[in-house]
Amino acid sequence: MSDVLLARQLLTPLDIVSDAALVMEDGRISAVGRRSEISHPQGARVVDFGDAILAPGLIDIHIHGGAGHDVMEGSEDALAAIERLMFQHGVTSYCPTTVTAPVDATLASLEQLAKAGDVASRSDVGSLRARPLGIHLEGPFLSHVRRGVHPPELLQKASVELFRRMWDAAGGKISVLTIAPEIDGALELIAEASRHGVRVSLGHSDADLNQTAAGIRAGARHATHTFNAMRPLRHRDPGLLGTVLTDRNLTADIVADGIHVNPVVVDLFVRAKGIDGSVLITDGISATGMPNGTYKLGPFEVEVRDGRCEVNGRLAGSVLFLDQAVRNARDFAKISFRDSIRMATLNPARVLGLDERKGILKPGADADIVVFSPNGEVLQTIVGGMLT
């Protein structure tokens, strides 16, 4: 069966289509354009969303949990709860993100995530859930100096052998690796992960300019939660952050919750990276969508109070929803809604190398779509062309 969606506006997000129509067939988009240009397939169901805005489904490449669950639980029930919550906020795809934990526990979580991911990617689990695109390893190959809340006793030296064990445990479903390029063995590991098709991201790092450049030469192409857990920018010692902000070949993400970085700094980040180089993430933890209290992040507990997630006074993830991050970035950086949408759709899809089918509304792409109100609130989420 075909469905035709009508709306006042559609964000591809490279272009804006007014008085728009989008045709979905068999989970894919078959046509996009103005209503006057699009033919309705025979027998198609027509859904008119009035003055709403159609946009690609949001993609969160850095999220640890939500709805009281952590992705490292790895169970189908835990992931289902997290994915349903994300779905309500316009997220159609995501990378379940690990934190530094004992090696055996991490390997066990990776095995469970791989199995649960196989279940969650099937069409028979229902349409009201975001779907995993691959695992993001945040740790254990991080700097002790910039470890944030990652337990120092559990950090590991960069090891190709350990990475291969993780790769095998995850059944090859690792999409992103965050690593500090200055630690021993990092360059070899970056090169090895890149050969496996993993997108290597620089983060939790105290690297100087030369160490950063070496990491990029080895294969790193992205940066994790810019400004947080990074060597501060100094005018005579710009370090990793100086490169992140100025290297156009390096994309970077940021937590735009107004807590991790000041709104003025979000504006600075977008000006420096440009719309095409900026990615929005949540770094959301199990407390997302929950009341104040104590919650788990991997193996340790986090105190959550009025939107701040802390371990001994240090920030430990967020309770940010990605649709709110889109609205925040629009307001903080004074950019258009289309540009802000791009930072949570096409740009993360490009980081993952999936931009031909994710993060964009065009013929042949997956029918992952969000219907927004004129103010940017989520009205409906569609995954794989399945209307609710």
Q: What does the pLDDT look like over 61-73, one tens digit per residue?
A: 999 999 999 999 9
pTM of the model: 0.97
Over residues 89-107, the mean pLDDT reads 97
Question: Which pLDDT does position 124 carry in this prediction?
Answer: 47
283, 339, 366, 368: the active-site residue? 283
d(CA 229, CA 238): 15
Question: Which pLDDT does position 116 carry in this prediction?
Answer: 80
Over residues 301-308, the mean pLDDT reads 96
Question: Which pLDDT does position 127 carry in this prediction?
Answer: 67
Domain 58-357, CATH among 3.20.20.140, 3.40.630.30, 1.10.287.470, 1.10.287.130: 3.20.20.140
Question: Which pLDDT does position 388 carry in this prediction?
Answer: 77
140 contacts 154 by C-beta, under 8 angstroms: yes
> What is the tens place of the pLDDT at every residue in 117-130?
765 555 544 568 99
359 or 1, which is more confident: 359
Over residues 132-160, the mean pLDDT reads 97
Lookup result for tokens 């989008």: 22
The answer to which of 25-29, 41-45, 158-162 has the lowest mean pLDDT is 41-45
Kindly list the distances between the CA atom of residue 353 and the CA atoms of 120, 221, 229, 265, 306, in Å, as whole numbers in the listed order: 21, 12, 26, 28, 36
pLDDT band at 187; cut points 50, 70, 90: very high
d(CA 108, CA 9): 45
Q: Is 21's pLDDT higher than 70?
A: yes
What single string gives the DSSP state of each residue in 246-301? Answer: H-TT-EEEEE-SSSSS-HHHHHHHHHHHHHHHEEEE--B-TTTTS-SEEEEETTEE
Domain 2-54+373-382, CATH among 2.40.30.40, 3.90.1300.10, 2.30.40.10, 3.40.50.200: 2.30.40.10
55 CB-near residues (< 8 Å, 6+ apart): 10, 11, 13, 341, 345, 361, 369, 370, 372
> What is the tens place of the pLDDT at every residue in 323-363?
999 999 999 999 999 999 999 999 999 999 999 999 999 99
**Nearest one of 135, 71, 58, 142 to 285, comparing CA atoms:** 71
283 is catalytic: yes
DSSP 137: E
> What is the tens place of the pLDDT at every residue in 217-241?
999 999 999 999 999 999 999 999 9
21 CB-near residues (< 8 Å, 6+ apart): 4, 5, 6, 31, 32, 33, 34, 35, 37, 38
Domain boundaries, the chain: 2-54+373-382, 58-357
Residue 217's SS3 state is helix
Q: Whole-number mean pLDDT of the chain?
A: 96
199 contacts 221 by C-beta, under 8 angstroms: yes
